[in-house]
Amino acid sequence: MERISWHQYFMAQSHLLAMRSTCTRLAVGATIVRDKRIIAGGYNGSIAGGEHCIDDGCYVIDNHCVRTIHAEMNAILQCAKFGVPTAGSEIYVTHFPCLQCCKSIIQAGVKAVYYAMDYKNHPYAIELFERAGILVEQVPLVGNALDPTSPGKRDLMNEMLNELECNGIEKEKLQIFKEKVKELF
């Protein structure tokens, strides 16, 4: 079995954290890492004990939900709460950080930002990251990173496709199946 890369490992963690999000508009997860060790994680949601968007709807002002704390901030605040230094760390986020999170990441001393998907990438945030000398790199999550059985499933599907071809399935149908398998993996 082939091991996933460190980038994929930490990005998968961020995607897993996003599954805890209580925001109905966008689920985001963030993982703070130092020396290849996870030091904090966060997802976008309401304050502890507060009303959640999934229960009471979003509280939107100026097209922005003010009920939630962003994933990056939740992770940084977790470090602050428990006295864990963030200087020199890296953060893995499912989406490009907003302008406010960008400024907080810089102030926290994070040295690198890895994000999976573009999301309203603010030009000023990009400029601030550059000025601060912070590495910013897009690291899309590989489709099968969260499924360690994926290679075996892909092999089985390819074996089945070969068997269908040997048994004389119509070429058009076979091509459709091949495209569907390709989409899955």
| Residue 90 dihedral angles phi and psi, to the nearest 5° | -125, 150
Give the number of other Cβ atoms within 10 Å of residue 29's Cβ. 28
Which amino acid is present at 94? T
* Catalytic one of 2, 72, 137, 172: 72
The SS3 of residue 3 is: coil
Task: Establish whether 165 is a catalytic residue.
Answer: no
SS (H, E, C) 89-109: CEEEEEECCCHHHHHHHHHCC
The SS3 of residue 61 is: strand
24/163 Cα distance (integer angstroms): 44
Residues catalogued as catalytic? 72
